[in-house]
Structure 1
């Protein structure tokens, strides 16, 4: 009589088929969710970062028009991040209570109005005040979006997703450099406004329109996603819920006493030194190497960001493929340090300046999304919103120091070299600190 039971091979084959089906369902959900959410978030962050780096292009005209020193420019550029640090946690808690759709919409409306209003400034005090208010307005945006991404994508997919979102950093430079340079040169003295004034108007007003798109299109939760069927919503919700480990369920006060949290703050400090040195000083460093045309500076400034786009996506894919986070963050930070040191070696040489900026741009752009894979591994869902805002806020002290320190050192020494060497050392220390995090803690399973 034939055996009516299942053999061990039959069971194994059936289990493999079930696993394959589950994987296929997960892939389908991921694809449609990524296409529905990420392009809009990417567009928002392009404008957010453009709003940060366009001040570097405005410097080419604004400082002479208004009589600002390098120190005054650096202070104004950096005050954005003082406000960002002070208001990051309350802004992100507010966004968490309002919901992503309403919270991000409100943030974008206010920052669009303030950014466009920069064309009205006529003194250093006005510059300082407006930059501080702009920092308050934007404080909750980036950490809030990171929390939002964590609510939609499982841990093993976040490397590529966060890299896609952070692609906005080099993309803003890639697009913003030529556009800003063109506006500075082509709109100069039209209708009685200088080129830098037109730049703030033309790059700030579209944010208001984009905010309305966010309000109409961004769902708050998985259950609000019209593009997912009910079984797909349940599948995604179950996967995300399963990743909440009881061992990580600690209070915010316990997080503050955890040395790993402060280690994250130190690493993020290095990341922000790299990102903001490139963001605020790339046009000035190219100009200091002997390039004087605003249009040419805008075009050349796109090169480090183009290289950063490619390297960021490749590194994010590699990090997810090999399920490794530490070396994929350490190496880009060391690249950023080496690139800045190379510029400092001969800041008047356009070749070494561009090579150094390209290497540093690749490292800085890539380190940002790779860093943000780390906080969810040491924070519970209950404190993630406030915890990410805490790390972001404290780490953004570096975002203030980078432009201010470089501006002050340029005025004091008439050179960028010493400041670039100091920044390179601090960034390298942050890169090496990544390796002190336990691999078993931060690498996806």
Structure 2
């Protein structure tokens, strides 16, 4: 990582500029994306009854999104590296916004399944594309913090989006349209507008931006280039290198286990809270938002502390291990409010590992191989999205409870935490020269 030998003032001013110009906009994009992907969890409070969906049928509808998402994730990310982030991210947003708004018009379970398949295909490549994009702008010394800000956008999507979605349900009956249909329509259209804004606002690289000074562009471009040259998988390696790397597959397994929490809990959280509390829809959506407020806080402090201490393994593994223990304890207790409190903290800790994970991943590889690896890792994690919701729905139908499903998630999180301690263990150091300054970098040593 960078040491004081680098011009600290230039470093600080450049990062400040990036944090002002890039991060809020990217957070907004991800917030809208996450709302459109997960608002079905609130819509289900009305939609399931109107369409005659069982918990298992709802789970299938949720999971089908991830089928096409997985299929198109790697190709979409590779295309992004060839045509540029600005154009490809804009294309993704416009198409997914159209499909997300179109969810308002489904009339049957089969139509729901079809629209979820289209939504997955449209959105594929967005998250890995943004993660890859951030790795082209932020040096390693600042990357976990930057990733935490980006993923705070997803958590804020739940903090803001869940109550907002709950409020849209109260439009039920306006102009003879169901509340859940208003929800899909009103939350899908902003993505189309933002996609058009991306074409005008988002620069492809530091060299093409108009809001960095010449010395900031030079320092940032040289620093990123030097770090990419030092990655274990070269910046010049082809995208297929991702599939031959043992480290990439270990990272993929970790992210799959972590996804049991982010996908399994998130997409069922309003239904779980309603089954425990018995509250009405808006209260349920508000209670379901609180865990994601904790997620914002935990992600920021865990990512920032990881950068400051230059340590990844404990910051990656320990939050997941504690989350698993808390979730299992929530299942075991008979006190519903204590169970809810432990669920809140478990969700927050599960998300806390996210920025550290992507910082660790992008320190290991760069270039087309990085884009393909990020997409591959994300695709494998989304296997949890494809298989877990139907299984959780089946468990709920069979047992009239989510307890066994949550215990399964708890075990996956604890196992993921143990793997995180291994996969992100202490890296070795190397030295490079950038414009006369010695820069010390950390290079991840593959297991």
2:338 is the alignment partner of 1:358: no
Residues 286 and 350 in structure 1, CA contact (< 8 A), matched pair in contact too: no
2:289 is the alignment partner of 1:305: no
Residue from 252, 270, 273 that aligns with 1:265: 252
Aligned to 2:410: 424
Distance in 2 between residues matched to 1:115 and 1:431, nearest whole Å: 34
Aligned to 1:168: 153
Residues 231 and 363 in structure 2, CA contact (< 8 A), matched pair in contact too: no
**Which sits farther off after the overlay, 110-119 or 383-392?**
383-392
Superposition map of 1:117-136 within 5 A: 117-136=102-121
Distance in 1 between residues matched to 2:82 and 2:231, nearest whole Å: 24
Superposition map of 1:12-91 within 5 A: 22-91=7-76
2:114 is the alignment partner of 1:112: no
Distance in 1 between residues matched to 2:118 and 2:351, nearest whole Å: 26
Distance in 2 between residues matched to 1:81 and 1:332, nearest whole Å: 26
Alignment deviations for residues 162-196 of structure 1 (CA, whole Å, 9 cap, x no partner):
00000012101110121111111x20111111111
Count of residue pairs the alignment pairs up: 426
- Structure 1 residues without counterparts, runs of 5 or longer: 1-17
Distance in 2 between residues matched to 1:260 and 1:173, nearest whole Å: 32
Superposition map of 1:259-298 within 5 A: 259-298=246-285
What is the TM-score when the length of structure 1 is the normalising length?
0.92
Aligned to 1:12: none
Alignment deviations for residues 38-62 of structure 1 (CA, whole Å, 9 cap, x no partner):
1111000001111122111011111
Aligned to 2:82: 97
Give, in angstroms, the shift of residue 101 of structure 1: 0.8
Give, in angstroms, the shift of residue 213 of structure 1: 1.4
Superposition map of 1:138-177 within 5 A: 138-177=123-162
Distance in 2 between residues matched to 1:415 and 1:85, nearest whole Å: 29
Give, in angstroms, the shift of residue 136 of structure 1: 0.8
Give, in angstroms, the shift of residue 281 of structure 1: 1.0
Distance in 2 between residues matched to 1:217 and 1:252, nearest whole Å: 28
Distance in 2 between residues matched to 1:253 and 1:47, nearest whole Å: 31
Residues 289 and 349 in structure 1, CA contact (< 8 A), matched pair in contact too: no
Distance in 1 between residues matched to 2:378 and 2:172, nearest whole Å: 37
Distance in 2 between residues matched to 1:115 and 1:98, nearest whole Å: 25
Aligned to 1:332: 319
What is the TM-score when the length of structure 2 is the normalising length?
0.91
Give, in angstroms, the shift of residue 419 of structure 1: 1.3
**Which sits farther off after the overlay, 250-259 or 421-430?**
250-259
Alignment deviations for residues 276-311 of structure 1 (CA, whole Å, 9 cap, x no partner):
123201101110113331111111112111111111
Distance in 2 between residues matched to 1:312 and 1:114, nearest whole Å: 30
Q: What SS does the corresponding residue of 1:68 show, helix, strand or coil?
A: coil
2:147 is the alignment partner of 1:181: no
Residues 316 and 424 in structure 2, CA contact (< 8 A), matched pair in contact too: no
Q: What SS does the corresponding residue of 1:228 show, helix, strand or coil?
A: coil
Q: Residue 364 and residue 214 in structure 1: after superposition, are their counterparts in 2 closer, same or farther (change >3 A)?
A: same
Give, in angstroms, the shift of residue 254 of structure 1: 4.5
Distance in 1 between residues matched to 2:222 and 2:382, nearest whole Å: 35
Distance in 1 between residues matched to 2:370 and 2:24, nearest whole Å: 24
